[in-house]
Structure 1
Amino acid sequence: MSASKKFAAVTGAGSGIGRATAVALANAGFAVALIGRRIEPLLETKELIGTEGGEAHAFSADVTHAESVEHAFAQIAQTFGRLDVLFNNAGRNAGAVPLEDYEVDFWNDVVATNLTGVFLCARAAYRIMKAQSPQGGRIINNGSISAHSPRPHTIAYSATKHAVTGITKSIALDGRAFNIACSQIDIGNAATSLTERMNKGVLQADGRLASEARMDVTHVANAVVHMASLPLEANVLNMTIMASAMPFVGRG
């Protein structure tokens, strides 16, 4: 591999924000490791990158299982020789469920993906970045505007996204000694299949159902590329990118 080439990994790269960001990183000159549970969508992303002249490799992994994550990142290290950026993107939605109706298994499933998965992938990337020469790298966690303000009846999702902020700050602190930067991007209403319900109407803080504005997912991808492309002496600790007209700022 060229000494000047940069290497990135993207979790949840088979669709939505992950796919758009993987493509954008490849277009920016990164070789990209595509990580996800199902290999078929990853191969579709890989093919899309290849048709645009980029380099991508697919690695199947379940981010909720430590052994699966460790195996995937070991393969990435062997394939690339180093890792410069992790976009820690994999997560799951958790629809509106009143607190009194929450099942423990549902809670545990959301926590496993949105919190434990973020930790496991960050840990694996951190180990590579600390051990490699030149030392260092950047981890970008996908938070959410729910890391700042919850939607109604989303206690598990909101709790995990608030916790991701703690992970981001901890890694940003602990990584200083090893030239490892950590960032968080909080995204509001990117136009993907997961937010199509916004067009029909979603529950608001005042109990109404209302449709919400969405933004093109490429704006998110380009924002991640900007964060990923900074020299390690600089860091965007936290970025909020959102559809301008969504009801995030103000009283509900």
Structure 2
Amino acid sequence: MPKVAIVTGAGSGIGRAVSLALLRQDWSVVLAGRRREQLEETAGLAQGGQSLVQPTDVADEASVDALFMATADRFGRLDLLFNNAGTGAPPVAIEDHALDHWKRVVDVNLTGAFLCTRAAFRLMKSQDPRGGRIINNGSISAHSPRPRSIAYTATKHAITGLTRSTSLDGRAYDIACGQIDIGNAQTLMTQAIAKGVPQADGSLKPEPVMDVSAVADAVLYMAGLPLSANVQFMTVMATQMPFIGRG
């Protein structure tokens, strides 16, 4: 019987790449995201597996509950949740950071991951066989920030705490949780990196990027482990990007 995954932010970038990689391995994948058109496009690119398009706003409790209900109704269980949906705020000085922008980043990046994790626990604890795996998309900003990224960086640090608490609380129910911290994957959202991004010394410099398929391969490895084993934290990044030694 095929394993079942939910991928949030599945309409583009890392979420799309991971969804397609899972489908190629004959997983059944629920494609979650705010824009139906992009989710349908992801589904149309699939080679293998079964997909279910489920428009979802991860920051909305009712929308998240509907996502997991649709998953249970269609596939009967859940083996993997990839908490991938995320957003950022305009890169401004802290004193100019709008509260609305802060709240939106927290709602999507942190509260959204919590709501999905809570719903996954409810389903994974009750299904037979019991258990499953949750993988959180952390970002290397969970370790070291870029300039003018206070909201994004704060939420990614918080994701590390969410990962640890989820891993601890899931032990009794065969629910494993790990985190993948990604640096400079080449997607539409990161096109500016190759052109030039702010550095800690105030300069603007281009940075190396890596193909997003490397991220998908890493997630596949984490997802493919038996529940008796877990990758607690993994960093996958462009080899020559200025992360180690940043600043």
Give the aligned partner of residue 221 of structure 2. Answer: 226
2:73 to 75, 78, 87: 78
Rounded Cα–Cα distance in structure 2 between residues aligned with 1:94 and 1:236: 30
- 1:15 partnered with 2:23: no
Q: 1:128 to 1:53 in 2, by over 3 A?
A: same
Rounded Cα–Cα distance in structure 2 between residues aligned with 1:165 and 1:59: 27
- Per-residue CA deviations over 1:178-215 (Å, capped at 9, x if unaligned) read 00000100000000011100122100000000000000
2:43 to 28, 43, 46: 46
Rounded Cα–Cα distance in structure 2 between residues aligned with 1:102 and 1:141: 26
SS in 1 for 2:7: strand
Give the aligned partner of residue 55 of structure 1. Answer: 50
Contact 2:89 2:102 in 1 (8 A): no
Q: What is the percentage of aligned positions where both structures have the same residue? A: 60
Contact 2:30 2:54 in 1 (8 A): yes
Output the amino acid matched with 2:204: L
Contact 2:109 2:156 in 1 (8 A): yes
2:31 to 1, 10, 34: 34
Rounded Cα–Cα distance in structure 2 between residues aligned with 1:19 and 1:192: 10
Q: CA deviation at 1:54?
A: 2.5
Q: CA deviation at 1:251?
A: 4.0
Rounded Cα–Cα distance in structure 2 between residues aligned with 1:171 and 1:147: 17
Structure 1: any 5+ residue segments left out of the alignment? none
Give the aligned partner of residue 104 of structure 1. Answer: 99
Output the amino acid matched with 1:27: R
Rounded Cα–Cα distance in structure 2 between residues aligned with 1:109 and 1:82: 30
SS in 1 for 2:242: coil
2:234 to 221, 229, 239: 239
Give the aligned partner of residue 175 of structure 2. Answer: 180
- Correspondence 1:134-213 to 2 at 5 A: 134-213=129-208
Give the aligned partner of residue 250 of structure 1. Answer: 245
1:25 to 1, 16, 22: 22
Q: CA deviation at 1:125?
A: 1.1
Give the aligned partner of residue 115 of structure 1. Answer: 110
Output the amino acid matched with 2:223: A
Q: CA deviation at 1:53?
A: 2.6
Q: CA deviation at 1:97?
A: 1.3
Rounded Cα–Cα distance in structure 1 between residues aligned with 2:221 and 2:92: 36
RMSD: 0.8
Runs of 4+ in structure 1 over 4 Å off: none
| Number of matched pairs | 247
- 1:131 partnered with 2:126: yes
Rounded Cα–Cα distance in structure 2 between residues aligned with 1:115 and 1:251: 25
Output the amino acid matched with 1:119: F
Rounded Cα–Cα distance in structure 1 between residues aligned with 2:153 and 2:92: 12
Rounded Cα–Cα distance in structure 1 between residues aligned with 2:40 and 2:246: 43
